[in-house]
């Protein structure tokens, strides 16, 4: 039987039919397909992440005993300092509780911390994102703040069954109500347009005109707590340059972010105890 020749226009016809069908597919089906795709893809990301961990493990096995001893010593010191900080925090917590009881104030809304390992980094000119290995299975919710030892990492943008996607504070889509360290006047922080492989920066707006900052004498920028998303006092970055806006009412400046943001392996997600 002779081989039947495919008509050259047929693939285009099929493509047109598929596209046409996609247009009339209900939104709920499209949404379901998108979520399914992400959930199906999740094991791949997770597996890759675990493989990287294994790779790191074997690479660490090659270290010399002396290096391990030195690292162990450093770790002990670090643990000791953390222990002291923990005790101090406990003491402060008790004092806060006592004052709340004394002044009959409602308890400050708390957070539950969830440490999560980074599975994937996605940095480009439009957004900077991390994917972490915890999702709905750990009660993580969209909008939860994410921190690390250097301050704010970002906030949770998407939550799936086993993974969560975090928008880094260097993303232009992240905006935070901030204050200068030691000041109470609110200002706005927003992620800047960052290159894929460059130092991350943000933009501070509505800075009071009496503030000043320079690369040699930067000003620490912290969360204000007024926005209701981030707790107060967490480090965002350092303002390294300020210029007066054209209306003379405020200053606008550049915020230098922690360079460790691009190489984080673990982050802490603060899950609000009482959802807004």
Which 8-state DSSP code applies to residue 36?
H
Residue-wise over 121-159: b if at least 16 C-beta within 10 A, else e? eebeeebbbbbbbbbeebebeeebbbbbeebbbbbbbeb
Site for other proteins in 163-222 (CB under 8 A): 172-177, 185-186, 188, 190, 206
* Binds other proteins (CB under 8 A): choice among 249, 260, 266, 273: 249
Site for other proteins in 114-173 (CB under 8 A): 172-173
Q: How far is the CB of 248 from other proteins (least distance, A)?
A: 4
CB nearer to other proteins: give 169 or 267: 169
Cα 211 to Cα 12, 185, 238, 244, 245: the distances in Å are 62, 11, 13, 10, 13
Q: How far is the CB of 195 from other proteins (least distance, A)?
A: 19
Q: How far is the CB of 138 from other proteins (least distance, A)?
A: 24
Q: How many residues bind other proteins (CB under 8 A)?
A: 22
* Binds other proteins (CB under 8 A): choice among 248, 263, 274, 275: 248
Q: How far is the CB of 226 from other proteins (least distance, A)?
A: 4
Rg (CA), the chain: 24
Our finding on whether 31 is near other proteins (CB under 8 A) is no
Q: How far apart are CA 200 and CA 238, in angstroms?
A: 11
Q: What angle do CA 79, 50, 158 make, to 5 degrees?
A: 90
CB nearer to other proteins: give 150 or 186: 186
Beta bridge partners of 111: 272
Q: How far apart are CA 129 and CA 50, in angstroms?
A: 19
Q: What angle do CA 108, 109, 111 make, to 5 degrees?
A: 125
Our finding on whether 228 is near other proteins (CB under 8 A) is yes
Our finding on whether 229 is near other proteins (CB under 8 A) is yes
Q: How far is the CB of 270 from other proteins (least distance, A)?
A: 14
* Binds other proteins (CB under 8 A): choice among 111, 127, 148, 250: 250
Provide CB contacts within 8 A for 72, sequence distance 6+. Answer: none
Q: What residue ranges bind other proteins (CB under 8 A)?
A: 172-177, 185-186, 188, 190, 206, 224, 226-230, 246-250
């Amino acid at each position: 039987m002779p081989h039947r020749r495919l008509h050259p226009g047929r693939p285009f016809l099929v493509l047109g039919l598929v596209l046409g069908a996609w247009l009339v597919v209900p939104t709920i089906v499209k949404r379901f397909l998108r979520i399914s795709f992400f959930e199906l893809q999740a094991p791949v990301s997770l597996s890759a992440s675990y493989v990287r961990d294994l790779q790191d493990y074997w690479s660490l096995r090659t270290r010399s005993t002396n290096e391990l001893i030195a690292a162990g010593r450093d770790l002990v010191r670090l643990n000791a300092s953390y222990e002291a900080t923990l005790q101090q925090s406990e003491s402060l917590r008790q004092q806060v509780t006592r004052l709340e009881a004394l002044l009959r104030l409602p308890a400050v809304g708390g957070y539950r911390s969830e440490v999560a390992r980074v599975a994937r980094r996605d940095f480009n000119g439009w957004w900077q994102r991390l994917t972490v290995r915890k999702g709905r299975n750990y009660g993580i919710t969209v909008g939860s703040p994410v921190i690390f030892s250097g301050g704010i990492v970002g906030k949770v943008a998407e939550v799936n069954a086993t993974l969560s996607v975090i928008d880094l504070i260097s993303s232009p889509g992240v905006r935070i109500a901030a204050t200068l360290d030691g000041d109470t006047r609110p200002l706005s922080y927003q992620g800047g347009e960052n290159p894929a492989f460059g130092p991350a920066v943000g933009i501070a707006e509505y800075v009071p005109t009496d503030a000043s900052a320079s690369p040699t004498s930067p000003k620490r920028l912290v969360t204000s707590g007024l926005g209701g998303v981030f707790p107060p006092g967490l480090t965002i970055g350092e303002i390294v340059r300020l210029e007066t806006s054209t209306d003379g009412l405020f200053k606008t400046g550049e915020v230098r972010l922690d360079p460790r943001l691009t190489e984080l392996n673990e982050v802490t997600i603060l899950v609000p105890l009482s959802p807004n």
